[in-house]
Structure 1
C-alpha cells in the first residue's frame, strides 16, 4: 500500500513538472538563430535569410497580450488571443494570424498560407535599453557573421587587422568607422540579389556590394546602373578590398 502510494506521489510530481507553466512561457525576445548559424558558415547572407526567413525576431509579452515581429523591413504588431493546448494565437488586427508555441527551448511559429514554419531561440546578447525591435537579431548576426579579426589581404590598409563590432562599429578599415548589413527591404531590392552593406565615416557613407565565400570576403564599389529618375540599381564594380578571417 505504501509502495503504491509512493509511486502515485512520484507520478503526480513528474506530471506537475511536465506541465510547468515556465516550460510553456513564450514571453521575451526570440531570434532566428537558424538563419544566423547558416550564414556564419560562410555562405551568402541573402541565401541564408531567404532559406530560413522571412521573420527575424519576435518580441512577446503575454501579460500585456502583445506580440510583435520584424522581418528586417517592417515591424508588425499583434495581439495575443490566449493559449490553447500550449499554442498561442496572434491576431494582427483582422488582417492575418499566426500561432506560436514552445518547443523545448525554442519558439515555433506554425506554417500559414503566407509563411513557412520557423523556429526561434531566446536572445542572449544584451542590447541597450530602448533598442528597436530587431536589434537582438542584428547583434547576434553581426557577432557570428562579421565578428572576430579580419586581415586586409588586398586594398587600402593592406595588412591591417579589421574588426567589425556587434554594435555596428568597425576598426581598421580605412575610410569607415561604422557599418550596417542589408537584411531586407529597399536596400535588398536595389542590389539585384547581391549582398550589400553600408559603410560610413563621420556620418557620411555609401552602399558597398560584398561577397562572402568561407573565410574570404570581397567588398566592391556599388555601381548604379539606373537613370536619375529611377530607383537605384547597384551592381558590383571595382573590387576595393579582399578580407580574410583569421
Structure 2
C-alpha cells in the first residue's frame, strides 16, 4: 500500500512538471518591420521611424540569457528571463525591464511608461547576409534593420532629373554603396541621434567618395528624391546646425 501511494504521488509530481512547456527559442535577430513599411510609403524618413519606434532591432542569445536592444542611436544589453513558454522579461542594468512575447511569427515588445507596443519579425534572408561588428561604432548600429530599411526606402532604380549626371540611372545598395551619382560611391541614412539634431529634424544622409564625405539634406515625396547641400550656420565652438542649401540632385524612381 505504501509503495503504491509513493508511486502515485511521484506520478503526480512528474506529470505536473511535464505539463510545464519549455520556453521557445527566440535566439537571433528581430527587426521593426512596421517602421520599414511606413518608410516605404515614400514620405519623411525620421517621421516614419518615430511613429513606429523607437526600438529598431533586437538581438537575442537565449542560450546565454542575453538580449540586446538597439534604437537609432542607443544600445543596451539585458538579461533574458523566461516567463512562460512564449513570454520573457529582459532585465536591464538599473532596474528597468521590458516584456517580450511571441504572437504567431511576431515578437512583441509590450508597452511601457516610455515605449509603445512594438512588433518585430525575423529579417528576410536576402536582406541580411553576414554582418561584421568589428568596431565600437558597429556595435551601436542596427545593421540588419538598416539593410532592410535601405532596400525598402531607396531600393530599385532612380534616374537623375537634374544635377550632375543628368539622365543617368542611380542605385542605392542595402549595404551602403551608390552607383550613378558622379563623385559618390557610398551613403548612410540618418536614423536619429546627433545627425538628426544637427539637421533640426530634417531628413539627412551622408554621401562619400572613398574616405571623403559630407552631410546632405534630402526630401522624399513619393517617387521623387531631392538632395540638397547641407549648410552649417553654427559658430566654430558650437554643434553644427545644418540647413538645406542649393539643390544638388533631383531623382525620380523608375
TM-score by length of 2: 0.86
Structure 1 segments (4+ residues) deviating >4 Å: 19-22
**Higher deviation after alignment, 126-135 or 87-96:** 126-135
Aligned position for 1:206: 214
Q: How far is 1:152 from its partner?
A: 0.1
Number of the residue aligned with 1:34: 34
Partners in 2 of 1:80 and 1:139 — Cα distance? Answer: 26
CA contact (8 A) 2:225 2:251 kept: yes
Please list, as runs of the form range in 1=range in 2, the aligned pairs for 1:134-145 lying within 5 A after superposition: 134-145=142-153
Q: Is the 8 A contact 2:128 2:148 kept in 1?
A: no
1:127 CA drift (Å): 2.9
Q: How does 1:173-188 map to 2 (within 5 A)?
A: 173-188=181-196
Deviations 1:175-206 (A, max 9, x none): 21000000111001101111000000011000
Q: Which residue of structure 1 aligns with residue 114 of structure 2? A: 114
Q: CA deviation at 1:134?
A: 1.1
CA displacement at 1:237 relative to structure 2: 0.8
Tell me what 1:53 maps to: 53
Give 1:87's aligned residue. 87
Q: How does 1:1-246 map to 2 (within 5 A)?
A: 24-84=24-84, 86-124=86-124, 125-131=127-133, 132=138, 133-246=141-254
Deviation for aligned residue 1:240: 0.6
CA deviation after TM superposition for structure 1 residue 74, in Å: 1.4
Kindly indicate whether the alpha-carbon contact (under 8 Å) linking 1:81 and 1:89 is maintained by their aligned counterparts in 2: yes
Which whole-Å CA distance do the structure 2 matches of 1:196 and 1:20 have between them? 48
Distance in 1 (alpha carbons) for counterparts of 2:22 and 2:144: 25
Change (3 A) 1:129 1:208: closer
CA RMSD across the alignment: 1.6
CA offset at residue 126 of structure 1?
Answer: 2.2
Contact 2:178/2:186 (<8 A) preserved: yes
Unpaired runs of 5+ residues, structure 2, are 1-19
- Tell me by how many angstroms 1:21 deviates: 6.0
By how many angstroms is 1:26 displaced?
Answer: 2.0
Between 209-218 and 117-126, the greater mean CA deviation after superposition: 117-126
Task: Name which one, 1 or 2, has greater alpha-carbon Rg.
Answer: 2
User: How many angstroms apart in 1 are the aligned matches of 2:129 and 2:236?
Assistant: 39
Report the CA distance between 1:95 and its aligned residue: 3.6
Q: Deviations over 1:92-137 (max 9, x none)?
A: 0234110111111111000111111100110122232434451100
Q: Secondary structure at the match of 1:42?
A: coil
Specify every segment of 5 or more residues in structure 1 that has no aligned partner in the other structure, as ranges: 1-18
Tell me whether 92-101 or 194-203 shows the greater mean CA deviation.
92-101
Scaled by the length of structure 1, the TM-score of the pair is: 0.88
Q: Distance in 2 between matches of 1:95 and 1:77?
A: 13
* Separation of aligned partners in 1, 2:143 and 2:55: 13
Contact 1:25–1:102 under 8 Å retained in 2? no
Structure-2 change in CA distance of 1:76 and 1:213 (3 Å): same
Q: Answer yes or no: is the 8 Å Cα contact 1:143–1:165 preserved in 2.
A: yes
